[in-house]
Structure 1
Amino acid sequence: MSVANPSDKAVAILNSARALMMDRGYNGFSFRDVAAEVGIKSASIHYHYATKADLAEATAKAYREAFSDAMDGLVGLDAPATLRAYGTFFVTTLRDQGGLCLGGVLAADAITLPDQVRAEVISFFDTQHDWVAAVLRKGQAEGGIRADLDVDTFAKVFVSGLEGAMMVSRGIRQPQNLETVLEHLILLARP
């Protein structure tokens, strides 16, 4: 696939990098891989992103922002339904694309990530935890979430549970396990 103008090219580069990292992780992709997918020379990527770390950071930031926008679109549902819809993002990514959440796959590579990419991973998970905690608080106020639940801790359990179940489900080639884990996590939060 060849791309017409620089902004389209930059987007195509980000999309390719995202797909490759979701499949292989940070250490499993190169400029050459991205270039082959986009239909350009690997040197052309340097015009938009000087280093692999710059490309990974931009990709992680775009992913975090898109994920946040998707979460913000989950309105008008009670807390358990909101949590289920949120979890469906993970289920769909695994079932339909065979990939992992970019935040999770980069977290697995954390020890080898450049600092700027690790900072984006931290920001991704901070955003996820804060959003899930807010949903849980709203659910407690409405009576759909256990009143005794420590929402900040459970938000971390919920996100980590989905991330871990996603990786294991992919590893054993049983994506339906992720859906089972999602339902059980929701049951743990209900009164």
Structure 2
Amino acid sequence: MDTKTQAIKSAKAQLQLKGFNGFSFQDIADDLGIRKASLHYYFSSKEDLGLALISDYEDAFLQWTLSLGEVKALTKLERFFDMFQDMSSDKMKVCPTGVFCIDYNTLGTKMKTALLELHKGQKEWIEQVLRECVSDGDLRKGLKIPEVANLILSMVQGSLQIARLTGSQQLVKNNYHSLLMMCRNR
């Protein structure tokens, strides 16, 4: 694995445990056993590193959605929640998007724009999956799809935060089941 890839991997772990403003180039350099100046060869600033992280998360999300293939829409929705459940089970990590949102007011304009694009892509995917769930008869007709997509995104972000606070690693999955009860045909 090359230095840039290792640096992004280290930064991802630091981000999910400490927040964007909670780690420095020095933390990454120490983790990799290199000099801090070596990181500047790949990232001229922390904002450049942040943009690389957002891009990496965007690519990973796209690859993840493609890996689902032709599975049923309700299964896709469950796997989305499983992804967040896995984060919670891994040292009580939180979602990178949520971390960036916490630090939002300190981010540069380019990072804010990139973060919004990542969010929009995730929301559009969820909306499509919800439409398929309704079409398949797994969720009731009449759902306000954009509002339910926002609810889902808010739910997973908040669930990760509360799970970290309370140590409840099953919170994400429990909230998924509650959401299904509210949105299914009665």
TM class, shorter-chain normalised? Answer: over 0.9
Deviates more, 1:116-125 or 1:128-137: 116-125
Higher relative contact order (CA 8 A, sep 6+): 2
Q: Give the root-mean-square deviation of aligned CA atoms.
A: 1.3
Runs of 4+, deviation exceeding 4 Å? none
Matching residue within 10, 16, 20 for 1:16: 10
Matching residue within 168, 180, 183 for 1:186: 180
Matching residue within 74, 84, 88 for 2:78: 84
Q: Is 1:155 equivalent to 2:153 in the alignment? A: no
For 1:102, give the aligned amino acid.
P
**1:103, CA displacement in angstroms?**
0.8
- For the residue of structure 2 that corresponds to 1:48, the secondary structure is coil
Residues 55-100 of structure 1 show CA distances to partners (whole Å, capped at 9, x for unaligned) of 0110111012102211222233333222111110000111034211
Matching residue within 124, 143, 160 for 1:130: 124
Q: Is 1:63 equivalent to 2:57 in the alignment? A: yes
What is the match of residue 111 of structure 1? Answer: 105
Q: What TM-score does the superposition give when structure 1 sets the normalisation length?
A: 0.92
Q: Is 1:33 equivalent to 2:11 in the alignment? A: no
Residues 15-68 of structure 1 show CA distances to partners (whole Å, capped at 9, x for unaligned) of 111110111111101000010111110011000000001001101110121022
What is the match of residue 167 of structure 2? Answer: 173
Determine if contact 1:79/1:145 at 8 Å carries over to the other structure: no
Deviates more, 1:140-149 or 1:72-81: 72-81
State how far apart, in whole Å, the 1-side matches of 2:53 and 2:143 are.
35
Deviates more, 1:172-181 or 1:68-77: 68-77
Residues 140-168 of structure 1 show CA distances to partners (whole Å, capped at 9, x for unaligned) of 11111211101111111111111111111
Unaligned runs of 5+ in 1: none
Aligned residues: 185
Determine if contact 1:31/1:52 at 8 Å carries over to the other structure: yes
State how far apart, in whole Å, the 2-side matches of 1:11 and 1:97 are.
22
State how far apart, in whole Å, the 2-side matches of 1:140 and 1:72 are.
21
Q: What TM-score does the superposition give when structure 2 sets the normalisation length?
A: 0.94
State how far apart, in whole Å, the 1-side matches of 2:73 and 2:54 are.
27
